[in-house]
Amino acid sequence: MSRAVDHIVPPEVAEEELFRAQVYALLARLLARAPDAAFLNVLGELAGEGGAFGAALDQLADAARGSDPAAVEEEFTTLFIGVGGSERTPYGSFYLTGFLNEKPLAELRADMARLGIARADGVTEPEDHIAALCEMMAGLIGGEFAPEEGDVVGLDGQRAFFDRHIGSWAGRFFADLETSLSARFYRAVGTVGRSFLAVEARAFDLAA
């Protein structure tokens, strides 16, 4: 029997991990660029399943239904790109040190190399952008990368990455997003992110 069988996870656990990957991918998508009309329509159909995160999803759906695509695009630019300095700077290094491209980015790059994660061709943004980090978490959960040691990055490895590169600052970023003056749609994104990261952190504690 092939060794690959070793990695088959019981279905109910697999679904749970799958769901985590989906939330990270959703956050990555929303923070990498503004949603277009089609994506806003899909977001508007979200229905939470109770709890703090469920309530946050309901808010996101409400926000999506009440948002004009052009306005969301403008909001995204003002928040994250803005001429003469954006309202928010969604980089780990900035949040942790007050400057871009500082030591936290170097540490992230070292971990990325160890975990077999490379920046896509043509991407010039520093890797500690929140969207990139969420994408990396989704990939780690999905076993997408090729770490130097071992076949997959288990919960312990995911936790180490989360603690070092996300948990230390991203909660503050999402909370800031919730109170950003220019934010309308992205306030709801901030709430989804903050409540998800809180659950993630507690869940890692439980698994320890």
Partner 1 sequence: MTRDAVKATEEAVKQGKGTQSTDKGLARRELFRAAGLGVGALGAVAAGVTATGGPAEAAPAETASTGYRETDHVRKVYEVSRF
Dihedral of CA atoms 66, 176, 18, 43 in degrees, nearest 10, equals 10
CA angle 94, 98, 102 (to 5 degrees): 60
Residue 11 touching partner 1 (CB under 8 A):
yes
Closest contact distance (angstroms) between CB of 169 and partner 1 is 15
Q: How far is the CB of 38 from partner 1 (least distance, A)?
A: 8
> Least distance (Å) from partner 1 to the CB of residue 161?
12
Give the residue with the Cβ less far from partner 1, 32 or 175: 32
Binding-residue pattern over the window 152 to 181 for partner 1, x denoting contact by CB under 8 A: x-xxx-------------------------
Residues 84-113 that bind partner 1 (CB under 8 A): 112
Of 136 and 183, the one with the shorter C-beta distance to partner 1 is 136
Q: What does the DSSP assignment read for 44-98?
A: TT----SHHHHHHHHHHHHHHHT--HHHHHHHHIIIII-TTS-S---BHHHHHHS
Binding track over 45-84 against partner 1, x by CB under 8 A: xxxxxxxxxxxxx---------------------------
10 is a site residue for partner 1 (CB under 8 A): yes
> Quick check: 70 and 35 in contact, CB under 8 A?
no
Considering only the stretches 96-104, 149-157, 160-168, 179-187, report the one whose residues sit in contact with partner 1 under the rule CB under 8 A. Answer: 149-157
Residue from 14, 70, 71, 106 touching partner 1 (CB under 8 A): that is 14
φ/ψ of 160, rounded to 5, equals -60, -45
Structure tokens at 39: 């994506």
Q: Which residue, 19 or 99, has its beta carbon nearer to partner 1? A: 19
Residue that the structure tokens 């507690």 belong to? 202
Nearest distance from residue 16's CB to partner 1, in Å? 6
| Placement of tokens 């770490």 in the chain | 147
Q: How far is CA 152 from CA 1, 16, 143, 197, 208, in A?
A: 19, 17, 5, 22, 18
Measure Cα distances from 168 to 22, 23, 177 in Å.
22, 19, 16
Pick 71 or 81: Cβ nearer partner 1: 81
Window of 43-51, 65-73, 168-176, 183-191 that interacts with partner 1 by CB under 8 A = 43-51
